[in-house]
Amino acid sequence: MIRPLLLTLSVALGAVVAGADADERPDVAAGRLIAQRTCAGCHAIDMGQSPLPEAPPFALLYTRYPRQGGLDALLAGGMLPPDRPQEEGRGLGHWRMSTIALDPDQVINLKAYLRSLEPVGAR
């Protein structure tokens, strides 16, 4: 009696743990965690309503990429600190969004996650 119950519970638990993210690449999973920690307070980090209504959901962020520079330009224009000092009198980053310091691997992972949300034709 207990064995079938334990087997059923272990199969169910395995299904929950595996979930939809079982095939997610490690860099995408790491980027998702960065987004959850640093961005989810204002942005929906997937599809859905953002906590801050004017903050775009990450699933639609690709629609805001500048023609020149794409995702890199978007991130450099607000979220990530600039590579060189700003001109005098020019503000740093986006006026409503604080910049965050990420190491190069974290930036790569966050970009991988954001790109994983883009429709195939937008990549």
Q: 16 in a domain, yes or no?
A: no
Query: Which of 58-72, 80-94, 108-122 has the weakest average pLDDT?
Result: 80-94
pTM of the model: 0.70
Q: What angle do CA 74, 76, 82 make, to 5 degrees?
A: 170
Q: 2 in a domain, yes or no?
A: no
Q: 36 in a domain, yes or no?
A: yes
Distances (CA, A) of 90 to 82, 86, 93, 97, 98: 12, 6, 9, 15, 15
* pLDDT score for 73: 83
Taking the CA of residue 12 as centre, how many other CA atoms within 13 Å lie in the half-sphere pointing to its CB?
Answer: 6
Structure confidence at residue 68 as a pLDDT band (50, 70, 90): confident
Give how many domains the chain has, as a whole number.
1
Cα distance between residue 117 and residue 121, in whole Å: 11
Q: What digits encode the pLDDT tens for the residues 70-83?
A: 888 888 777 776 66
Q: What digits encode the pLDDT tens for the residues 18-59?
A: 334 668 999 999 999 999 999 999 999 988 899 999 889 999
- CATH assignment at residue 67: 1.10.760
